[in-house]
Chains A and B, each alone.
Chain A
């Protein structure tokens, strides 16, 4: 299957700083990327849908000024957590795909810890 990478895999930052997470589709072009957040022992919560060359679509309750998403190319989407606070600590997972069946490929996730 297709490969999606995320960088960094782990990040620890101080409260008030901003953190950027990259999601890359390594061997295919992804018109759409999705960003999820996963709390411990919980399901994945869709945060936003990122389409190449256009603004991201955020799910209800997700602050778009706090979670900035940029999808500048068909192989790269970034999520920036601005002015991070301890409650933003979580596991962030991206997926990339197109509109075919079963075609959402997940990255390995990024563990964010805000002190």
Chain B
């Protein structure tokens, strides 16, 4: 099956930028996603990028995709305490199923 890997923890100071990295293995992925999960809640779609794009920016969020290296990153500018959560990257295969990474726990410290 597909393999999606991401670092497990990230600690960042409030106001700094956060960068969360993800690697995937399925070269036929059509879309790649970033989801946010707060404690006890479901997943909230933050942003997604089509596989033929290199970059997508949406307000404080910037997604970079290196298709050659199968590397995806999410940058959060001006990180706030409300950004503390678990962030999952996911890839969508041709059969529309999503494969998730293990999640990166982001802790924002004052």
Interface: A113 (CB within 8 A): no
Knowing A102-B48, A108-B41 are in contact, say whether A44-B88 is a contact too (CB < 8 A).
yes
Interface: B55 (CB within 8 A): no
Majority SS at the chain B contact face: strand
Give which listed residue, B31, B45, B88, B97, contacts A43 with CB less than 8 A. Answer: B88
A93 touches B43 (CB 8 A): yes
- Residues of B near A111 (CB, < 8 A) are 40
In the complex, the number of residue pairs spanning A and B with C-beta atoms less than 8 Å apart equals 50
Give which listed residue, B35, B40, B88, B96, contacts A99 with CB less than 8 A. Answer: B96
Knowing A34-B98, A43-B103, A101-B31 are in contact, say whether A106-B42 is a contact too (CB < 8 A).
yes
Residues of B within 8 Å of A, CB-based: how many?
21
B42 touches A108 (CB 8 A): yes
- Residues of A near B48 (CB, < 8 A) are 101-102
Which residues of B approach A to under 8 Å, CB–CB?
A: 31, 33, 35, 40-45, 48, 50, 88, 96-103, 105
